[in-house]
Amino acid sequence: MTQTTPTRAVPRRRGLWRRLRHDYAATPAAALVTLVCGTILVAIAWTLIDWAILRATFDPAAGREACRAAGGACWPVIAARWRVILFGLYPYDEQWRAALACLVVAAVILLSCLPRMWGLGRLAAIWATGTALFYLLMRGGLFGLTPVNEQQWGGLPLTLFVFVATAVIGMPMAIVLALMRRSSLPGIAIPAGLLIDAIRSLPLLSILFTCAIVLPLVLPDFLIGEKLYRVVFGAALFFAAYQAEIIRGGFQAIPRGQEEAAKALGLGWRQRLVRILLPQAFRLALPATINQFVIAFMETALIVVVGFMDLLASANTAFRTGEWTFAHVEVYAFIAAIYFAFVFGLSRYGAFLEARMDAGQQRS
Amino acid sequence: MDRTAPAIEITGLHKSYGGFQALRGIDLTVARGERVVVCGPSGSGKSTMIRCINQLEEHDSGTIRVLGTVLDGRLASLDEIRREVGMVFQQFNLFPHMTVLENCTLAPMLVRRLPRAEAEATAMRFLEKVRIPEQAQKYPAQLSGGQQQRVAIARALCMEPQIMLFDEPTSALDPEMIAEVLDVMVTLAQEGMTMVCVTHEMGFARKVADRVIFMDRGEIIEAAPPGQFFSAPQNDRTRQFLSQVLGH
Amino acid sequence: MARLLSFPGTRRQRELALQAVFLSALAALVLGAALTARERLAAQGLTSGFGFLRKATGWEINFALLPTTTADPYWWYLLSGLVNTLFMGAVGLSGAFALGLLVGLMRSGRNPAARLLGTLYVELFRNLPIILQLFFWYAVATALPNPRQSIEIGGALVNARGIYLPGPEIGRGIAALSALAILAGAGLAVGILAARRFRRAAPLRRQSLAALSLAAGFAVAAGLALAFRDPATPWITHPRAEGLRITGGWRIQPEFYALALTIITYGAAYVGEIVRGGLKAVPRGQIEAAAALGLTAWQRFSRVTMPLAFRAMLPMLANQSVWLMKATTLGIAVGFSDFFMVVAGSINHSGQTLELIGILMAGFLAINLTLAALMNRLDRALSLEGSSMRPRR
Ligand SMILES: Nc1ncnc2c1ncn2[C@@H]1O[C@H](COP(=O)(O)OP(=O)(O)O)[C@@H](O)[C@H]1O
Ligand SMILES: [Mg+2]
């Protein structure tokens, strides 16, 4: 094929139109993909706007009939039920304590996202203080706060409590399990490995269930305690099994020379571990660790199944009773927004850290 | 395709990455059967230039004609050119999930639509030419770097291209393997293949090049037959570069 | 600080002592738990052992592929639950992989509209608890109109009690067998595509063999369905509303499709990310080399990019499969009788807690080990000899 006219000898234009064509419709097939995806996007956006805003009812006093007539989202259900959704069965007059407790947890999480707080000691201090404060506020019984039994806890504070307690108990367990599995002594490494692998191959639900109903069978009376704490222990164990493998991965990624150099300098086992290995392992494992936190937060929702009134369960009750039985989408959208804000925020933060660490590695 | 047109004709070639100008006005004509060696400091745009010739990079402005066909972004011209232009990369880029033989028969079977038997016969011929027919059933990762690069050359030759592009084919090799690859390239040059070769192997340039081209900062600074290029470089930057690579 | 372990002997002796102490503590723990349990059970008048497995259950489960009645013994119920779980897993996994592949490709391509859609999908489904999604779909499914006002879509009826599809009238057992035949065909097809023995065969032959085995699976399924259908009914019966009852056709229960939909959509978000990671792990040079050889975009994708990406994805796909299998236990939240729900029900009714928990764990261990072994085989069959092209994590 001979091209006789030297077309395009002039500079090619990189204009907007050209760029758009290149990106959206370089070939007929690409144009078709653009068309299909674009249509879907527009349809989704329009349906959402139409339902959630244009045809929605916002008047807090509006009832079922008014919502039905408008045809869109029925937001008065949130106005009417938000206390139940957020705080479950917690005594109505004491719900300010529950709200405060949620803020404490939020503060703890925000603080631990600051790089200047990243020391074993500081992190441990923040989380221990936060947990104690949370517990004091929720449980009461001191400083003139009326005691509130764990069975009355519910909604967002319960979800946050399970999450925080899982992390606070699970993380030390994870470190210990990881160290045991890495041990050169088979009598320690093998049982640890078996435990980790067994837990990882079981569904979390079955572990929560086991903790709720089997532990009372095998524990001596003084150890049985509240069902809430047994279930939290199960969640922590599950978290620890996964997190232990993440930490172990971090250990494996440390260059061999590091430990040898530390040995050659005459550092003892504890010093090598605390000063040289653990900090590096945690750094290397940080993105995966944050990911694990995100997963652990989402998995707190599973405690519904063993009979707790967490955020998800209290949302269920909010529309299962009374006049709001039709408003399930609105209620789920409300709590989905809460879960999403937390999970999306944390995972974006993880991605940001990862990018920062990658950049740091390239420089060195 | 024009049988009389030069192998490659480049005029006024420009290429930028974001705001950075990698090529600023390259003019170059390579005749059929000509061997051109391109050298220049790292980042001077050598790779960018030869990757424009088979459109692994799209250029911004200027004309590139290969064997008479203008590369204007149409897919038809692209397909046509890529089957006539072979390329050898610095990092070999053999397909790790295929044996040596499969690497060599893939494109002839898919692009030239040769039957398997014929493609395998061709492949074996070229593997013999690069002196590793016995490795045909192995996977790339089982070979040394020099062997891999020779397979990569054979793979490109299996398409029976009219032009071969080499982008620093020996830079990723240990010194003792460089010679075996260069030997193959010399043989190829002596058989009259049109070659554009980015390399810092000045011995190779002296031996086979018809022309040596020196690039710096996206421009061709100097182009001359090797005798003149090495003995009497005209430009300061060329002299400076030569003294570095030749170790004077 | 004083050394805690100022042990007198050699290092070796100290290590032995350490292990001995640890192991005996562990043994004491297990023994203590066992003794407490025995005492408690004796106090409740329960005999331990697996004898109860042969007793009739006397309670119903609301979804079963295998035919079950209240007269069936526990072991049959447990088996039935296991089959339900496997079936749900197969549906969920294949759906999640197919949709995830699409999402991953959309996110990896150049088309901004497709990328946006893919990104929205992943961020939405990955960042909400799976059980919330399940509750949502189940609430939507059960809030559909009642059977009297069923929505009709192309011969199928949709209402709060389920989706009713036209189909031949056959028993549950035959349906399960048919599904198994299709699965076996698909498995064989994957095996043929992966097996080293067939590597040297022409790709075309390999593909047609795989297609053949897939077709054979479908043929056997269709044959079974037609051979064992109720001969008194027409070939295909259409669901018909008779007041509040719907007769004819196949009913898909809300519990089933809500859970399947949840596992598929949630899983697809993760699989999509794995696919994207796998595609990113393919070195650019590979694709450039293919381009320089003149391969077309589709040839580059199918011969170079995808085979390499798939190898990179395999370990993560294996993990994801295990995860999705475990997610079937969510069935208990909406009342789908998976293995876990049957075990929980059995514990409620028989009180044989420890035995049943043991069976539950053994069941999941078996499922996971099988999955792991399958994936390992695939991994070995596909492994790149002499190299270890793996993506960065
Ligand atoms: N894909 C790219 N994106 C941005 N800049 C690039 C890219 N490829 C090359 N460059 C830049 O273009 C310049 C020329 O690169 P190259 O042609 O590879 O040089 P050479 O091969 O001579 O070493 C370099 O400064 C390089 O950083
Ligand atoms: Mg280069």
Q: Mind listing the pLDDT tens digit for each residue in C215-228? A: 898 888 888 877 77
Q: Token pair of C231, please?
A: 């001969």
B24 Cα–ligand 1 center, Å:
13
pLDDT at A59: 75
Q: Which residues, numbered 55 to 74 in chain C, qualify as contacts with chain A under a Cβ-Cβ cut-off of 8 Å?
A: none
Residue C384: pLDDT over 70 = no
Does the CB atom of residue B200 touch ligand 1 within 6 A?
no
Q: Using one digit for the tens of pLDDT, what is the confidence trace for A84-140?
A: 777 877 777 777 888 888 888 888 888 888 877 777 778 888 888 888 888 888 777
User: CA B44 from chain center: how many Å?
Assistant: 16
Average pLDDT, chain A: 80
Query: What totals of helices (H) and strands (E) does chain C contain, helices first?
Result: 13, 6
Q: What is the pLDDT of residue C381?
A: 72
pLDDT tens by residue, C150-174: 777 777 778 778 888 777 777 767 7
Q: Which two tokens stand for residue A266?
A: 């005459």
pLDDT score, position C197: 57
DSSP 8-state secondary structure symbol assigned to residue C48: P
pTM for the whole thing?
0.83
User: How sure is the predictor about C390, in pLDDT bands with cuts at 50, 70 and 90?
Assistant: very low
pLDDT surpassing 50 at residue C388: no
Q: What is the pLDDT of residue A9?
A: 38
Q: pLDDT band for position A16 (50/70/90)?
A: confident
CB-based contact B60 A9, cutoff 8 Å: no
What is the distance of C-alpha A156 from the center of its chain? 13
Instruction: State the average pLDDT over residues C195-209.
Output: 64
A5, closest residue in chain B (CA to CA): B70
Q: In terms of CA atoms, which chain C residue is nearest residue A23?
A: C111
Cβ contact, residue pair B70, A8, below 8 Å? yes
Q: Please give the Cα distance from B221 to B243 (Å, whole number).
A: 16
Tell me the average pLDDT across C84-103: 91
The answer on pLDDT for C175 being more than 50 is yes
Residues C326, C336: Cα–Cα separation, whole Å: 14
| Whole-angstrom Cα Rg for chain B | 18
The two structure tokens encoding residue C274: 């794995």
The full set of domain ranges for chain A reads: 15-70, 78-363
A139-192 tens-digit pLDDT:
777 776 777 777 777 788 888 888 988 988 999 999 999 999 988 888 888 999
Strands B211-216 and B35-39, bridge-based pairing: parallel
**Distance (Å, whole) CA A50 – CA A297:** 32
Report how far residue C89's alpha carbon sits from residue B99's, in angstroms, rounded to the nearest whole number: 36
> C288 C-alpha vs ligand 1 centroid, how far in Å?
15
Is the per-residue pLDDT at C145 higher than 70? yes
Q: How far apart are CA A262 and CA A240, in angstroms?
A: 28
C323 interfacial to chain A (CB closer than 8 Å): no
Whether the pLDDT of residue C1 is over 60: the answer is no
Domains of chain C: residue spans and CATH: 74-166+238-382 (1.10.3720.10)
Type of residue found at B232: A
Query: What is the predicted pLDDT for the residue at C194?
Result: 66
* H/E segment holding residue C165: strand C162-165
A140: left (phi over 0), alpha (psi -120 to 50) or beta: left
The answer, yes or no, to whether any atom of ligand 1 lies below 6 A from the CB of B19, is: no
| pLDDT for A5 beyond 50 | no
Instruction: Give the least confident one: C75-84, C243-252, C285-294.
Output: C243-252
pLDDT tens per residue across span A266-284: 676 777 787 778 878 888 8
Predicted confidence (pLDDT) per residue in A326-362, tens digit: 777 888 888 899 899 988 988 888 888 878 776 655 4
Token representation of residue C127: 């960042």
Please report which ligand is nearest the Cα atom of B26. 1
Handedness of CA A80, A81, A84, A87 (dihedral sign): negative
The three state secondary structure string of chain B is CCCCCCCEEEEEEEEEECCEEEEEEEEEEECCCCEEEEECCCCCCHHHHHHHHCCCCCCCEEEEEECCEECCCCHHHHHHHHHHEEEECCCCCCCCCCCHHHHHHHHHHHCCCCCHHHHHHHHHHHHHHCCCHHHCCCCHHHCCHHHHHHHHHHHHHCCCCCEEEEECCCCCCCHHHHHHHHHHHHHHHHCCCEEEEECCCHHHHHHHCCEEEEEECCEEEEEECHHHHHHCCCCHHHHHHHHHHCCC
Q: Which atom of ligand 1 is nearest to the CA of B51?
A: 17
DSSP 8-state assignment for residue C163: E
Mean pLDDT of the C60-76 span: 79
Sort strands C151-153 and B219-224 into parallel, antiparallel or unpaired.
Answer: unpaired
Distance B45 CA to ligand 2 centre (A): 7
Report the alpha-carbon distance of residue A307 to residue A320 in Å, rounded.
16
Asked whether the beta carbons of A90 and A154 are under 8 A apart, the reply is: yes
Mention every residue, 6+ apart, whose C-beta is less than 8 A from residue B73. Answer: A8, A12, B58
CATH architecture type of domain A78-363: Orthogonal Bundle (1.10)
What does the block give as tokens for A356? 């920062």
Are A73 and A129 spatial neighbours (Cβ–Cβ below 8 Å)? Answer: no
Q: What is the mean pLDDT of residues C198-208?
A: 64
The alpha carbon of residue B216 is apart from the nearest alpha carbon of chain A, in Å, by 22
b (16+ CB within 10 A) / e for A147-183: ebeeebbbbbbbbbbbbbbbbbbbbebbbebbbbbbb
* C303 touching chain B per CB within 8 A: yes
Q: How many CB atoms lie within 10 A of CB A222?
A: 6
- CA-closest candidate to residue C287, choices C268, C270, C308: C308
Q: In what order do the strands lie in the sheet with C151-153?
A: C151-153, C156-159, C162-165, C250-252
pLDDT at B205: 92
More confident residue, C13 or B224: B224
Which residue from B15, B48, B168, B214 has its CB within 8 A of the most atoms of ligand 1, so it is best to mutate?
A: B48
Q: Chain-centre distance of CA C317, in angstroms? A: 12
What is the spatial distance between Cα C325 and Cα C374, in angstroms, rounded to a whole number?
Answer: 14
Of A216, A208, A286, A215, which is closest to residue A250 (Cα–Cα)?
A286
User: Could you give the 3-state DSSP secondary structure of residue C275?
Assistant: helix
Best B92, B97, B101 member to test C by mutation, with max C CBs in 10 Å, is B97
Q: Taking Cα atoms as reference points, which of C237, C314, C228, C224 lies closest to residue C278? A: C314
Protein residue with least CA distance to atom 17, ligand 1: B45
- Show the low-confidence residues of chain B (pLDDT under 70): 1-2, 248
Report the C-alpha gap between C238 and C221 in whole angstroms.
20
Task: List Cα–Cα distances, C297 to A214, B107, C105, C287, in angstroms.
Answer: 58, 13, 14, 10
As a whole number of angstroms, the distance between CA B70 and CA A6 comes to 7
d(CA C92, CA C99): 10
Are residues B93 and C311, on separate chains, in Cβ contact within 8 Å?
no
Please, which residues have CB within 8 angstroms of residue C171's CB and are 6 or more apart in sequence? C67, C228
What is the rounded average pLDDT of the residues C284-291? 92
- Using alpha carbons, select from C209, C223, C224, C218 the residue that is nearest to residue C184: C218
At A262, give phi and psi (nearest 5°).
-65, -40
Does B171 touch chain C if contact means CB atoms closer than 8 Å? Answer: no
**Residue B92 one-letter amino acid:** F
b/e for A78-104, b at 16 or more Cβ within 10 A?
Answer: bebbeebbbbbbbeeebbebbeebbeb
Range list of H helices, chain A: 16-24, 28-49, 64-70, 76-87, 95-112, 120-139, 155-182, 186-200, 204-213, 215-218, 221-224, 227-253, 256-264, 269-271, 278-299, 311-320, 328-363
**C298 pLDDT above the threshold of 80:** yes
Taking the CA of residue B167 as reference, the ligand 1 atom at the shortest distance is 21
| pLDDT(A8) > 60 | no
Q: Is the pLDDT of residue A3 over 80?
A: no
For chain B, say whether C203 makes contact (Cβ under 8 Å): no
pLDDT in tens, A294-308: 999 999 888 888 887
